[in-house]
Structure 1
Amino acid sequence: MINVLFLCLGNICRSPMAEAVFRHMIKEEGLEQNIIVDSAGIGDWHEGNPPHRGTQNILKKNQISFDGIVARQIKKQDKDDFHYIIAMDDQNIHDLNEMIPNMQGVIVRKLTDYVADESVMSVPDPYFTGDFDYTYELIKEGCRTFLEQIKQEIRKEG
């Protein structure tokens, strides 16, 4: 089983969008028995809340379920529970390392590491930009490429 955690600032826009998109892709590929996905935020401001209305709208528009997704803050236990932590920007990674030092054994990357356009350094936060469409497109591309990498891992192990 491969465990993936998507991470952003408040866990109501980008990381729950990535969780929902990735979960949808996993289901389409029939890999629900191989991959577990979750999301969290650096802060606890929105803990217990559903995704932002803009995130809900873009997911509904693309027929992607966000059932059961609620905001939570990242916790120390996550470094033991997840193989991958996929952050939305450099600040998320910096804050993660401040909150949970010694992330040995966890692969920490940015989602944009899986986006073809190397000039894109982070997934912009639509909470501030208002551009949920662009964020969705970046997340979809990054998740697709990341899933292809994981599928190769599963093939090697299987």
Structure 2
Amino acid sequence: MVSVLFVCLGNICRSPMAEATFRAKVEDENLSEAIEVDSAGTGDWHVGKKPHEGTLAILRENNIKSDDLIARQFHGEDKKYDYIVAMDASNERNMKKILDSEHHGKVFKLLDLMDESREKEVPDPYYTGNFQEVYDLVESGCSRLLNKIKKDNQLKEGNTYGK
């Protein structure tokens, strides 16, 4: 199984939005048996809480399930994930401080996959209030990520990688 972890600061806005959006894309391509998806935050302020209402609202508007999203903190054991996707450079740096250097290659920013994008970091809607902008960036980035994972792991629709 291929595993993906999305990480932002508090795990209530960007990373759970990315987790739910990516999971929906994985399900749409019948790859749920091949790809595991989770999210975490580098901070501990919101551990155990549901996502921000703005995140939940944008997911509802786009018919994306969000029932099982609960904030948790990123920790060293998260090195087990194959793809560790940061929403911004600050969280990317914070994760690399926690992970052994041998796992740094798994960590990258979501928008690194979008060369044509002027944005290089997913802005935090907790501060900006612009959940639509964040959703648009996350949706595009998740599409690119899924294509990358399918190519990297030779996955096709309905593939049961590793089973």
TM-score, structure 1 normalization: 0.94
Q: Relative to structure 1, is the Cα distance of residues 103 and 71 closer, same or farther in structure 2, using a 3 angstrom cutoff?
A: farther
User: Moved runs in structure 1, 4+ residues, more than 6 A?
Assistant: none
Is 1:91 matched up with 2:85?
A: no
Distance 1:47 1:103 in 2: 27
**1:64 maps to amino acid:** I
Question: What residue in structure 2 maps to residue 7 of structure 1?
Answer: 7
Q: Deviations over 1:50-97 (max 9, x none)?
A: 110000000000000012110000011110x20110000000011111
Question: What residue in structure 1 maps to residue 103 of structure 2?
Answer: 104
Question: What residue in structure 1 maps to residue 53 of structure 2?
Answer: 53
Tell me how far 1:99 sits from its aligned partner: 2.5
For residue 85 of structure 1, give the secondary structure of its aligned residue in structure 2.
Answer: strand
Q: How does 1:18-29 map to 2 (within 5 A)?
A: 18-29=18-29
RMSD: 1.7
Tell me how far 1:108 sits from its aligned partner: 0.9
Q: Relative to structure 1, is the Cα distance of residues 19 and 103 closer, same or farther in structure 2, using a 3 angstrom cutoff?
A: farther
Higher deviation after alignment, 112-121 or 30-39: 112-121
Tell me how far 1:156 sits from its aligned partner: 6.9
Distance 1:102 1:153 in 2: 22
Question: What residue in structure 2 maps to residue 145 of structure 1?
Answer: 144
> Structure 2: where are the runs of 5+ without partners?
none
Tell me how far 1:106 sits from its aligned partner: 5.1
Higher deviation after alignment, 89-98 or 104-113: 104-113
Q: Deviations over 1:17-55 (max 9, x none)?
A: 000000000000000011000000000100000110000
Distance 1:66 1:143 in 2: 16
Distance 1:122 1:37 in 2: 20
Identity of aligned residues (%): 45
